[in-house]
Amino acid sequence: MNYSIIFYIMGWILNFEAAFMVPPCIVALIYGEQAGWSFVITMALCLLIGVPLVIKKPKKQIFYTSEGFVTVSLCWVVMSIMGALPFLFSGSITSPVDALFETVSGFTTTGASILSDVEVLPKSILFWRSFTHWIGGMGVLVFILSLLPLTGGSHMNLMKAESPGPSVSRLVPKVRLTAKLLYSIYIFMTVVEILFLLAGKMPLFDAVTVTFGTAGTGGFAIKNNSIAGYSPYIQNVVTVFMILFGVNFNVYFLILMKRVGQAFRTEELRWYLIIIAVSIGIITVNTAGLYRSLGDALHHASFQVASIITTTGFATQDFDLWPQASKTILVLLMFIGACAGSTGGGVKVSRLVVLVKTVRKELIQFLHPQVIRKIKMDGKVVEHEVVRSINVFMVAYTLLFSLSVFLLAFDGEDLITNFTAVAATFNNIGPGLELVGPSKNFGIFSEPAKLVLIFDMLAGRLEIFPVLILFSRETWKKF
């Protein structure tokens, strides 16, 4: 195990986290808030630990898949711990477990909160909550990859461990250029959404923080009623951008390369849009009687479907009050999630498409044993290794999900609350149903239960295996 390069990258993570705290410090200065000192102290601690770790560059800079997984997992844990300190130092949250829950929820772009009243928080703390979504959306290591001159396959192994989806591919021959390209697209789309929101007369602070939540598909809001208090125009803008940020960023690369036809022929994108359209249609009809017009029903159905399938978690309505059919669709969308290679969570559309095709292939194999049939996506054969990894992922996903629901049962809450709480955290969505619905929060759970949900958020964001590998004895043996 190349421990020196692991600590080296962790040092850079801490240094960059210190830099990420400069914007909330500026916000504190603008609004004259004492909470700014909590960021200054945290920055000093990050640099105190981080700078010594990066002074000496490791002689051996190449590391492999297992080390990439360990590095990513440890970096996310350390980043979350340090990111929780401003909440504690400012007094915004007094419990260390609650502060860690809020921070992990931010970085993993989950959006589940233990706070019952966010409007009493200082502006700088609200900015930091939302900014953690933007940082975690594309992945802080993807950002660092575009800057650090690592050698060999190191870049790719880090990117595979952090990027959501069943596979990671280079958009251009060099991984560093791929990382830069991804962040360029991410930043451009972020700026465009801010401009659209400002055009709707949204205050600048609101526009920036809401955009951070949308871009990272996170869902932390700066209002207690989430997005419900804003105009229909603003809600529509957020709806469109939630869907856009849930698209595989490879599609945008293809569009930039003027390969528009190839971009829109992508199977995953096609099924993603079909699922969204069908879900909106059914929920619109099912909830039509709750609103003044079919247009209102369509508006709210579109927003909530976009919010849930992209695992953003914003809300314009308390969908826990919707009919059972609509709530069932939303719960199913929690599991489906967005596209691979997007900022969204969930199982991912591409995984489900491959799983359905695998079932179909097996059925045909039963009927015609002599027929050799390959699974294809976008006209290309899906390698057996990819199918195997998806199957293993689904087994691990099911086992961890079931275990989490079981552990939460000891808190004594009802099954729907526990089930959707795990679904909301494991799939990085935010709100669930019943006691963790969009109008409520996760503060009802005990600290042990919150630790289970913290693990679920990290495991869901990092696609399970980078987190599980930390608990393997083999991981820590030098080789």
pLDDT band at 9 (very low <50, low <70, confident <90, very high): confident
Residue 273 to residues 83, 238, 244, 338, 349, Cα–Cα distance (Å): 35, 17, 10, 10, 10
pLDDT higher than 50, residue 168: no
Query: Tell me, what amino acid is at 146?
Result: S
What average pLDDT does the segment 381-402 reach? 89
Instruction: Say what the pTM is.
Output: 0.91
What pLDDT is stored for residue 62 in this prediction? 65
pLDDT higher than 70, residue 162: no
398 is in an annotated binding site: no
What average pLDDT does the segment 105-119 reach? 93
Highest mean pLDDT among 3-7, 69-73, 421-425, 460-464 belongs to 421-425
pLDDT band at 4 (very low <50, low <70, confident <90, very high): confident
Q: What angle do CA 35, 93, 117 make, to 5 degrees?
A: 95
Q: What is the pLDDT of residues 415-473, one digit of tens each?
A: 999 999 999 999 999 899 999 998 889 999 999 999 999 999 999 988 888 888 888 77
376 three-state secondary structure: strand
Compute the distance between CA of residue 122 and CA of residue 366 in angstroms, rounded to an integer.
Answer: 62
346 is in an annotated binding site: no
Residue 36 is classified by DSSP as H
What pLDDT is stored for residue 375 in this prediction? 84
Compute the distance between CA of residue 245 and CA of residue 309 in angstroms, rounded to an integer.
Answer: 11
311 is in an annotated binding site: yes
State the SS3 of 308-337. Answer: HHCCCCCCCCCHHHCCHHHHHHHHHHHHHC
Q: What is the pLDDT of residues 119-139, one digit of tens each?
A: 999 999 999 999 999 998 887
What pLDDT is stored for residue 71 in this prediction? 82
* Mean pLDDT, the chain, whole residue set: 88
328 is in an annotated binding site: no
Residue 219 is classified by DSSP as -
What pLDDT is stored for residue 146 in this prediction? 62
pLDDT higher than 60, residue 285: yes
DSSP track, 172-195: SSSHHHHHHHHHHHHHHHHHHHHH
Top-confidence residue, 239 or 253: 239
pLDDT higher than 70, residue 175: no
What pLDDT is stored for residue 177 in this prediction? 74
